[in-house]
Amino acid sequence: MSKKPDFDALVNNKRIDNVDTSALNILFSLFDKPEVISFAAGLPTQELFPREELVKIAPKVFIEDGAKSLQYGAAEGYAPLREKILARTKNLYGVEKSLDEILLASGSQQAMDLFCKTVIEEGDVIFVETPTYMGALNAFQQYFPKFVSLEMDDEGISIEDLKAKMEMYPNAKCLYTIPTFQNPTGKRMSLARRKELLEAVKDTDLLILEDNPYGELRYSGEELPTLLALDDCDRVVYMGTFSKIFVPGTRIGWVLGPKELLAKMKKFESAGELQGNTITQHLANAYMEEFDLEAHIVEIKDCYRKRRDAMLEALEKYMPEGCTWTHPDGGLFLWVTMPENANTNDAFDYCVAEGAAYCPGEGFFANDVKYNYLRMNFSPHTEEVIDKGVKMIGDGLKKYLATL
Ligand SMILES: Cc1ncc(COP(=O)(O)O)c(C=O)c1O
């Protein structure tokens, strides 16, 4: 018999060790418990996926348009779709970009990977928010950066802290931010703070990576300009996605940025996967031609606004004393602060025993992990289920707190 390769030795490399997805394990444990009402993941509601519309356009995409949707395509993505995304960017944010300033990626998650492959070398400093999106930390970790965490208040990143950290790390490469309806907190950077941020970095080479998957899901409050729109020197590299406003399974995201940078990112796109998915790019393009994406987004917002309100109301009714939470104007998430001595990893099982789950906060910290936070996603459940599930969470947390 031939020798079986020793996989333990073969896959024992420092890249694997550097990517820490352990905070996800607690969430994977929910896969075996479909009866649990989960507020843990960041899932869009599936009843609003435009399934019938996609079926209607399938003959056009697969038959009338010929075999183009099934063939290999350009690494930068299907040009008609890129044009439509650029037209929306102009309408929404007043930003005009050309076709060589947009690159499609397999979701904004892959866009982060391409960005890091292109920009980040071992030991480079990336400034991140506290807390920040755990998936971004995982994407960045593959390239061995040094994360430097920036303090945040209700208006976003603390500029004072940023200035202090810029003095300590004058060669920092980039600042990763989700300024609008952040994951995990739901917070939105104020207009004044956006301007102060760009002002604070104006004499540096620091790149700002603006991640904006939730910006179009605004339920209250005024529209604010993106950092991309406020940028006057090609400093902001912007990532958008269809995941939360259309269908996450299409795996279509995009990067808008300076063409010099995008040309290099495209090189890695070619090297890594040749190109993104032609079929879904053609489907999204045909959907935008035949149907009204903007009307669809209004429908999603109407649904999520009610769910956000239901969750805020339920939290008020059922959460134990000593807990506070954010009141987001948009996005999918609320961020709950428990008393300082609480640990939301330990409280998790108490809530699951009651029948509901949340996402513990641990994985959202790049440095100085805090354990007394948790994230709740209100998008996937009806108002009735939200009320029922939040009561279970409240009961579980009360039982856990009684043990301290
Ligand atoms: C802040 C943030 N960025 C990026 C992503 C990845 O999204 P995509 O589906 O476009 O890869 C997510 C997904 O939840 C997210 O919350």
Taking the whole predicted model, whether its pTM rises above 0.95 is answered as: yes
Q: Residue 24 pLDDT more than 90?
A: no
Task: Let me know: does 206 contact 235? Beta carbons within 8 Å.
Answer: yes
309 pLDDT band (50/70/90 cuts)? very high
Determine the pLDDT at residue 26.
Answer: 81
pLDDT digits (tens, 9 = 90+) for 118-156: 999 999 999 999 999 999 999 999 999 999 999 999 999
Q: Judge if the beta carbon of residue 379 lies within 6 A of ligand 1.
A: no
How far apart are the CA of 168 and the centre of ligand 1, in A?
30
Determine the pLDDT at residue 59.
Answer: 94
β-partners of residue 127 are 148, 175
In the predicted model, what is the mean pLDDT of residues 223-249?
97
CA distances to 67, 69, 78, 338, 398 from 72, rounded to whole Å, are 10, 8, 10, 51, 55
Q: Judge if the beta carbon of residue 284 lies within 6 A of ligand 1.
A: no
How far apart are the CA of 277 and the centre of ligand 1, in A?
17
CATH architecture, range 7-49+295-402:
Alpha-Beta Complex (3.90)
Q: Judge if the beta carbon of residue 57 lies within 6 A of ligand 1.
A: no
The domain spans of the chain are 7-49+295-402, 51-290
Task: Let me know: does 158 contact 187? Beta carbons within 8 Å.
Answer: no
CATH no. for 51-290? 3.40.640.10
The encoded tokens of residue 240 equal 């958008």
Which atom of ligand 1 has the smallest separation from the CA of 244?
9
How far is Cα 357 from Cα 293, in angstroms, rounded to an integer? 32
How far apart are the CA of 317 and the centre of ligand 1, in A?
31
Determine the pLDDT at residue 198.
Answer: 98
Question: Which H or E run includes 150?
Answer: strand 146-150
Task: Let me know: does 359 contact 287? Beta carbons within 8 Å.
Answer: no
12 pLDDT band (50/70/90 cuts)? confident
Determine the pLDDT at residue 141.
Answer: 96
Cis amide linkage into residue 360, ω under 30° from 0? no
Tell me 63's DSSP state.
Answer: I
Entry field: residues in the chain? 404
Question: Which H or E run includes 149?
Answer: strand 146-150
Interaxial angle between packed helices 159-168 and 191-200, expressed in degrees from 0 to 180 and rounded to the nearest 10: 20
Tell me 330's DSSP state.
Answer: B
How far apart are the CA of 107 and the centre of ligand 1, in A?
7
190 pLDDT band (50/70/90 cuts)? very high
How far is Cα 134 from Cα 183, in angstroms, rounded to an integer? 9
Q: Judge if the beta carbon of residue 107 lies within 6 A of ligand 1.
A: yes
The one-letter amino acid at 243: S
How far apart are the CA of 39 and the centre of ligand 1, in A?
17
Determine the pLDDT at residue 29.
Answer: 83
